[in-house]
């Protein structure tokens, strides 16, 4: 029983981190692009970046992904944990890249 509870908390932690990194990515991207220090790499989101709703849209997208991954977790826990972990690694790399870009262009 303890193992199941620990696993649920682990997944909840991963999902909270996913949404937090998504919001961080949106905020840093918005700041860089609005200041003319960078550009959006995703062509689908490129037209939305100048609008103030960009951060809200990305945050809602992160929350939607978290709910979908939670639903997957209920059926296939291992798949959901591995998938969420892979997404976190990729998103963390993007956030680190954005912070690096911010540091070299702002200085």
Tens of pLDDT, residues 42-89: 777 767 776 777 788 888 989 999 999 999 999 999 899 999 999 999
Q: Which of 107, 103, 106 is nearest to 95 (CA)?
A: 103
When computed from its CA atoms, the radius of gyration of the chain, rounded to whole angstroms, is 16
Q: Whole-angstrom Cα distance, residue 83 to residue 75?
A: 13
Does the pTM of the predicted model rise above 0.85? Answer: no
Cβ contacts of 15 within 8 Å, gap of 6 or more: 66, 69, 70, 84
Number of helical H runs and strand E runs in the chain: 3, 0
């Amino acid at each position: 029983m303890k193992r199941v509870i620990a696993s649920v908390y682990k997944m909840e932690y991963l999902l909270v981190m996913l949404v937090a990194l998504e919001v961080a990515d949106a905020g840093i991207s918005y700041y860089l692009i609005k200041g003319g220090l960078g550009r959006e790499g995703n062509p689908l989101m490129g037209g939305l970046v100048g609008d103030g709703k960009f951060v809200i849209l990305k945050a809602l997208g992160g929350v939607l992904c978290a709910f979908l991954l939670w639903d997957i977790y209920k059926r296939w826990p291992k798949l959901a944990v591995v998938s969420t972990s892979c997404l976190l690694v990729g998103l963390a790399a993007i956030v680190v890249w954005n912070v690096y870009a911010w540091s070299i262009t702002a200085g």
